[in-house]
A and B are shown apart, each in its own frame.
Chain A
Amino acid sequence: MENLEIILPEIFLSLTIMFLLLFGVFKNNSSKLIYNLTTFSLIILFALLLNLYQISDLSIFNNSYKVDSLATFMKLLTIGSGIFVMLTSSKYIEINNINKMEYPILILSSILGMMVMISSNDLIVFYMGLELQSLALYVLASFNRENLLSTESGLKYFVLSALSSGLLLYGCSLIYGFSGSTNFNIILDNSSSGQYGITFGIVFILVGLAFKISAVPFHMWAPDVYQGSPTSVTTFFAVLPKIAALSVFIRFLYVPFAEMNDQWQMIIIFLSIASMIFGAVAAIGQKNLKRLIAYSSIGHMGYALTGLAAGTNKGIQGSISYIAIYLVMNLAFFSCMFMLRRNNEYYESIEDLSGLSKNHPLLSFSLLIILFSLAGIPPLAGFFAKFYVFMAVIEQKMYFLAIVGLLSTVIAAFYYLRIIKIIYFDKEKEKFETDHHFGLKLTLAVSTIFILAYFIYPSGLTEIVSKINII
C-alpha cells in the first residue's frame, strides 16, 4: 500500500468533489464560492502532480493503473488547461445564469474521469474513467437548460456517445474473450495477429475512441454540440476530452497491440486523412465561430492522429506536442470569444468580428496571431506542432500522408484567412465592452505570448516530450 501516494492527486480530487458537493447542498448561494474553490483545488492538484513528475513508471492495483511520464504529462496538460478554462469562463457563466453549484463539480468529476482514463492500463479501468468523464459532459453540454440548442446538443451528445460507448464495450469484450484478460500487458502476451476476434475488438474500440476525439467519420456530433453548448463548456469540450482520449489512443495502440500495427495502422491513416481533409473543407462555409472551431478541431485531431500513424516514439512525441500546442491555441481563441461581449450578451457569429481591428487593436492582434498559428504558418507555434508530426511521418517514408496533410493545411488556411480578412479588411461595427476580468486577460496574454514567442526557445517542449518513450 505504500505506493498509494502516487494516486494522491486522484484521491485528493475525489475527496474535493465529495466535500464540495456536501458544502453546496448545505450552504445556500454558495455557487460563486464553490467555483473559486474549484479553481483553487485544481491549482493544488497541479502542484501535487508536479511533485509526482519525478516518479516514473510505476503501476499499482495489479498493474491496472499506471503512473508514468506519459500519464503525468498528459494529466498536467489536462489540469493546466482546466485551470485556464475556469479562469476564462467565470464571467460568462455568471452572465448566462448558469453559475449553479453543480457546474464546477461536474467539471471536476469529468476531470477525474479523464485522469483515470489517462492512467488506465486495463480495459475496465479505462471504461470506468471514460464513462465518468462522459456522464459529466452530457450534463454540462445541456447545462443551459432554458436554451433549446443547448438541450438539444446535450441529448444529441448523449445518444451518439452512448452508441459509441456500446461499440467500445463490445470491442472490449471481444478482446477479453480472445485474450483472456483485460489487462493491457497480459493482452500483449496472449494475442497474435492471426486472431480475428482481436482485430475486430481493436476496430470497435478505435471507433469508440475516434468518436471521443471527433475524428471523421465519427465527427457528426461535434459541430452541433460545440455550437449548442454554452461557450464555457465548448472551451472545455474542445480541449480536455481530446487530451484524455489521445493518451488512451497512445496507450491502447502501443501497449497491448504494438506488434500488431499492421492491423491498425491503415485505420489510423484513414481516420487522419479523412479528418484533415474534411476539417479543412467543411469549415469553409461556416458562419458561426463555435461551429467553425468545431470543424477546425476535427482537422486538428487528424494531424494529431497522423503522428500516431507513424508507429514510432517520435510519432507519439509529435502527437503529444501537437495536442499541447493545440490546446494553447484553442484556449487563446476561446478567450478572444469571451471578449466579444456587448451589453451582457456574447456574440459568436463571424460577421460580428467585422472591422474589429479599428476599435480593439490588441484583441485583433491576438486573434491574428492565433489564427495564423492555427493555420500553421511559421514562425508561430502552430507551425511547429505540424512540423513535429510530419517530421515523424516522413521519417517513416509515408510521403502520401505528409503531402495530403500539408495540402489540406493550404485549404484550411483559406478559412482562417477569411476570419482575418473580416477582422482587418472589413468595415467596423459597434464597439465591444472592454472591462474584462483578470483571469480572462491573463489567459489570453499568456497563451498569445506562448504562441508568438515559441520559436525563440522551441527546445523547452521537445525536451519534456522526448522523455515520453512508450515503445
Chain B
Amino acid sequence: MDFPIISSLIILPTIGALFILFTKSSNSKYQSSKYVALFISLANFILSIYLWLIFDKSSINFQFVENREWLSGFIDYKVGVDGISILFILLTTFITPICVISVISTIKHRLKDFLIAILIMETLMIGVFCSLDLIIFYLFFEGGLIPMFLIIGIWGGERRVYSAFKFFLYTLLGSVLMLIAIISIYWISGTTDVEKLYEIGIGEQYQKLLWLAFFSSFAVKTPMWPVHTWLPDAHVEAPTAGSVLLAAILLKMAGYGFIRFSVGLFPIASEYFVPLVFALSLIAIIYTSLVALMQEDMKKLIAYSSVAHMGFVTLGIFTMTQQGIEGSIFQMISHGLVSAALFLSVGVVYDRNHTRLIKKYGGLVTVMPKYGIVFMIFALGSLGLPGTSGFIGEFLILMGTFKKSFLVATIASLGVILGAAYILWMYKRVVFGEIIHEEIKSMKDLKKFELLILLLLAIPIIFFGLYPEPLINSIETSVTSLIDNYNTNLTQSFAKK
C-alpha cells in the first residue's frame, strides 16, 4: 500500500481550510467557501468509507501504517489504524459534513472563519484517532483546543468568554501532566512509539504515576465527575455546530485515549485503579442524571446527559471484559450520533424561538409534527430503547459490568432508568401538552436541510440498533487482542510476585 491514505485523510481538510482562507468570495454570501467546505468534508467521508472497506478486519495489527522520520533521532511521525480507531475516524468524517451543512445554513456572521475552524478541527480529530506515537497524539490532542476556543468564543452565546476560557484552561491543565508523563515514558522506554511500547511494556514501578498523569488529562476531557463542570458551560454557550463537535467527537478522544493508552500501556495500574474509575463513573451516572432532571435549559440537560453517558463508557472500559469494552466503543459511536442529533434538534427550535428554556416551549407537536417525530427518535436513542444504537451500547456495558461486580452493575442500571426519566420528561414538556406561549404558534416545521441532516443521523442510529454486526465485527479482533495483552501482563506481574 503505497498511497498514504491515512495522511491524506488528515491533510485533506487542512488543504480545504487553506483554500478557503486564500480565496476571496465575490459576494458576501461566501458561496465558494461553502461549496469547498462541503466538498472537502464529503470527499473525506468517502475516503474514510473506502478505508473501512479495504480494511482487514481479521488482523490484530495496525494497518496502513506510515512511518516517517520527523524529529530526527527522537520521534517518528507514525500513523495507522486498527479496528477501534477506524470507527472513530468514520464518526469524525461523518459528523463533519453535518456540521458544515448546519453551519452553512444557520451562521451568518463570519461564516468563512467558522468553516476554516471546522476543517482544521477535523484534521486534528482524525489525527488523534490514528496517531501511533504519543508525541504526535499529544500534538493533535492539544491542537484541538485552539479552534474549539475560537468557535465557542466567537460564535457563542452571552457568557461565551467565560465558557471558552474555562474550557481551554481546564483541558490544558489536565494535559500538561500528560505531557510530562509522555516525556517520562520516552526516557524510561527509549521510545514513544505505541506499537513498540505495547511489545516491551512499561516497568511496573512507573505505571501508577504515569497512569494518573494520563488519567488527569482524559478525565477532564471525558469529562468525569468531579472535573466535568466545564462541559455544561461550554455546551450551553457554544453555537450548535460547536456543541455537536464537542459532544460527538471531542469527548470521544478521551474514551479512545483510555482504551488505547491507559488500558493498553499501563495494564497493571489500570487493574489497580479500577475501583477509583468505577466509583467516579457511578457518581457520574447517578449524580449527573439527577442534575439533568433539574435542568431548565435544554442544552444543559443534554450536556449533563453526556456526562452520564460517558460515565457508562468509562465503566465499560474498565470492566476489562470483551463485552464491556466493545459496549463502550459502541456506546461512544452511538452517543456521538445521538448527542449530535439532540444538539441539532435543540438548535432547530433555538433558531426559531431564540430560547433554550424548556418552560418556554410546549405543544410543539401540533405546529411541528415532523420535528416531533425525529426528536422522538433521538430521545429514544438517548435513553437506550431496544432497536436504537443506544440500547446495544448500554446493554453490552451492563453485561460486562455484571461479570465484574453485581453491585456496580445494579447501581449503573438505575442510571438507565434516570436517563429515561430526564429525557422523556424534557420531551414531554417541550413537544407535548397545550400551547401556552403565543410565539410557538407561528413556528414553522423543519426546513428541507434540517430534515436532511436529522434524517442522516437517524438512519445510522436505527440501523446499528437493529443490526450492530458491522461495527462489532470491526472492533472484535482489536478488542480481543487488547484484552489478551492486558491479561498476559497481569499474569506475568502476579507470577513475578
Contact = CB atoms under 8 A, between A and B. Distances in A.
A145 B179 CA distance: 48
B338 to A, nearest CB: 31
Contacts of A459: 69-72
B15 to A, nearest CB: 14
* Size bracket of the A interface: 20 to 34
B139 interface: yes
Nearest to B72: A459
Interface string A391-408: 100110001001100110
B161 A425 contact: yes
A463 B72 contact: yes
Nearest to A459: B72
A379 to B, nearest CB: 5
A462 interface: yes
B149 interface: yes
Interface string B69-82: 11111100000000
A338 to B, nearest CB: 24
A458 interface: yes
Contact of A462 (B72, B135, B142): B72
A136 to B, nearest CB: 39
Secondary structure dominating the interface of A: helix
A209 B415 CA distance: 62
Nearest to A414: B169
Nearest to B155: A425
Interface centre among A391, A394, A421 (most CB of B within 10 A): A394
B186 A391 contact: yes
A458 B169 CA distance: 27
Contacts of B183: 387, 390-391, 394, 402
Interface string B159-187: 01100110011001100110110011011
A424 B150 contact: yes
B53 to A, nearest CB: 31
Contacts of A379: 139-140, 143
A372 B138 CA distance: 16
Interface in A424-461: 424-425, 455, 458-459
B417 interface: no
A379 B147 CA distance: 12
Contacts of A390: 179-180, 183
A458 B70 contact: yes
A455 to B, nearest CB: 7
Contact of A406 (B138, B143, B161, B176): B176
A119 interface: no
A238 interface: no
Contacts of B153: 420-421, 424-425
Interface in A409-430: 409-410, 413-414, 417, 420-421, 424-425
Contact of B143 (A378, A420, A466): A378
Nearest to B179: A406
Nearest to B209: A399
Interface residues of B, number: 34
A377 interface: yes
Interface string B54-83: 000000000000000111111000000000
B173 A403 contact: no
B146 interface: yes
A379 B43 CA distance: 25
B169 A410 contact: yes
Given A377-B142, A378-B139, A379-B139, A413 B72 contact: no
A409 B175 CA distance: 11
A318 B186 CA distance: 16
Contacts of B187: 394-395
A414 B165 contact: yes
Most chain B CB atoms below 10 A, which of A379, A383, A403: A379
A286 B13 CA distance: 38
Contact of A421 (B140, B142, B164, B186): B164
A368 B69 CA distance: 29
A413 B172 contact: yes
A188 B144 CA distance: 50
B161 A421 contact: yes
Contacts of B138: 378
A458 B73 CA distance: 11
B70 A410 contact: no
B76 to A, nearest CB: 11
Contacts of B140: 379
A458 B142 CA distance: 18
A394 B179 CA distance: 11
Contacts of A403: 177, 180
18 contacts: A368-B150, A377-B142, A377-B146, A378-B139, A379-B143, A387-B183, A391-B186, A394-B183, A399-B184, A407-B176, A413-B172, A414-B169, A417-B165, A425-B153, A425-B164, A459-B69, A462-B72, A462-B74
Given A377-B146, A387-B183, 6 more contacts: A390-B183, A391-B74, A394-B180, A420-B153, A421-B164, A458-B71
| 8 smallest beta-carbon distances between A and B, as pairs | A406-B176, A459-B72, A378-B139, A394-B183, A379-B139, A378-B142, A410-B173, A425-B153
